[in-house]
Chain A
Amino acid sequence: MYNIFKLAVRNLKRYKRRTFLTSMLITLGVVAVLLFVSISGSFKAMMIGQITDSMLGHLQIHRKGYLASIDSLPLNRNLNAKQVAKVEQVLADIDAVDTYSMRIKLGAMFSNFVETTNIRLNAVLPEQELNTVPLLSERIVQGQAAGLIEKGEILIPELIAKGMKVKVGDSIVLVANNKDGSVNGLTLQVRGILEGISGPGGRDGVIHLEDAKTLLRFTGVEISEIAIRLKNMNHLPQTFADLTAKLSSIKNQQGQPVFEVHTWEKLSPFFNIAKMIDLMTFFIRIMLVAIVLVSIMNVMIMAVYERINEIGTIAAIGTLPARILGIFMVEGFLLGVLGTAIGTIISLITITIMNASKISFDFGRQTGLLLAPTISAGEVIVVVLTVIGIAVVASLQPAYKAAKMDPIAALRHV
């Protein structure tokens, strides 16, 4: 095998410029893919992290039909005490569940005593909420972040704070209809101002669950949604399947399921952007495959054509067809390895430089997001093996042609 490699290396060195240009083409493809995967992957992971860890959680449970009418924040589709207890029982049996948070979602009129506007609110138990969406406190741009919220306080979204000229410490009034239609008001103090983020719930205010119960005159337990955090997000599909199976077996008197379970993917439009990023990554990979395939095949076809006489000579002196095949396939393999090695090194250096440069970018209303491209060893290995594999596959046809060449015809070739 060493001899085949030696011969392949010598032949690659024979056509230095061609070897260099082909390797550079593969290098370019590898760099493009690795950088795109690292940047888009980091952006995607960051956005998903923001969405799940500061807003949605990984999974949510609602009463059946709640999500279809979530825009109107219906109060008559809340989970009652018995239903909540059943959900808690199911969640306790699933190991993958780390923690969960009970929420009441409501719409209200927000008044600063001068002006009035609409506000969407999440009423939460602070400890539960912080455990489930730990990045929520990081969205508090003004006011006290620790402890999230206490009774009598409200966290208001940035846009309302600006529009209504409300500051931390100001008093405001919330006015809301309960599910029977009667109106009630509650005075709260602004504890902090929340940074808005893209997606549903990204511009909601936050109040304490007990305040919501007071405002809405709930006497017992009423919960709009239960947000769930998993120990490991990679377990999401399995946990979703387990939870759906367990909860769908609980039916109402009409034999219909009582609950509905949704992953963050169903709840956030960013999932479609994430899907698009995946699709783009896929097409970039296809382009890389095409670049490697075409360039290696082209070079190897040329190599075979230029060395027909040599092929005839080595075939005549007894080189077995399999060995001739090997000589040319190893050449393609080495071209792939060379291009991939240079491309991987350049990519990793570039990623390191980009991380060191702390490049920031804006996404929607979010500004100053830090670009922190990372790439897993697994991703690098997949790209490297793909390129090398394609290089070998691309050299297969020319190598096969060389191995099958008639020695007499090859020796006569001028």
Chain B
Amino acid sequence: MSLVVAKKLKKTYIAGDITVNAIQGVDFSIESASFVSFVGPSGSGKSTLLNMIGCLDPPTEGALQVADSDITRLDRREAARFRGENIGFVFQDFNLIPVLTVFENVEYPLQMVQNWPASKRRKRVQDLLGAVGMADQGNKYPSQISGGQKQRVAVARALVTNAKLVLADEPTANLDRTTATRIIDLMKNMRDEFGTTFIFSTHDPKVVKNAEIIYTLEDGRLKESRSGNGGHHV
């Protein structure tokens, strides 16, 4: 069953006299519980595509469905609500809220976005922190933990709302090789445990290597789609 379906998707930016065709009519579909990577050189449109899938940036043309919803015509408020209910984000710079503890950072989407009751929230956060191996670090602040630990917390935060889809923009770019591998393994385990779909944009060969489907973008066009570890070309 397809979780993300894009048809003739286009994104054009206009700045004064300059028109940039960031995405030029791409078609793809991504199944539930898959581990997908968008790769390509800088400026190829990876982040733009992820932003559109994440309801952060509306497409200029084409159709885009996420979790059976047409997300091309959502207004600001509807888009925020949709993201809160369906999508988790993992950022390159971790983007944890510095004034909240590890526990509170993971709790934030349940508390401030989905308004879960306190008792239910506590259990869910504990479970997620346990799943990412951060159960004993809950009272620490982001400044007190390492980069790898921050990204684990970010993964927990992305998954805590039972998101159907997690979008990760260069999630290993700021991590050393060992930590990056652990984070990729963690995300894969999370996919296996929770059935969440992970979509990455990355330059990192480690991430690419672990992806089940790899989409290659070039100048806003989808050049190829292949399965990970030497899959077929299309």
Contact = CB atoms under 8 A, between A and B. Distances in A.
A319 B84 contact: yes
A317 B56 contact: no
Contacts of B51: 408
B77 to A, nearest CB: 6
A351 interface: no
A10 interface: yes
Contacts of B229: none
A407 interface: yes
A407 B56 CA distance: 7
Given A7-B99, A310-B97, A321 B77 contact: yes
A315 interface: yes
Interface string B199-225: 000000000000000000000000000
A317 B81 contact: no
Interface string A11-34: 101100000000000000000000
B88 A314 contact: no
A382 interface: no
A232 interface: no
Interface string B79-102: 011111101110101010111100
Nearest to A13: B99
A89 B100 CA distance: 77
A301 to B, nearest CB: 19
Nearest to B158: A317
Interface in B42-93: 51, 54, 56-57, 76-77, 80-85, 87-89, 91, 93
B29 interface: no
Interface in A299-333: 309-310, 312-321, 323
A7 B89 contact: no
B1 interface: no
Nearest to A2: B111
Looking at A11, A313, A317, which has the most chain B CB atoms within 10 Å of its CB?
Answer: A317
Contacts of B89: 313, 316-317
Contact of B77 (A3, A13, A312, A320): A320
A323 B99 contact: no
B112 interface: yes
Contact of B112 (A312, A314, A411): A314
Interface of A: 3-4, 7, 10-11, 13-14, 309-310, 312-321, 323, 407-408, 411
Given A7-B100, A309-B93, 20 more contacts: A3-B112, A7-B97, A312-B95, A313-B97, A316-B54, A316-B89, A317-B83, A317-B89, A317-B109, A317-B157, A317-B158, A318-B81, A318-B84, A318-B87, A318-B114, A318-B161, A319-B80, A319-B113, A320-B77, A320-B113
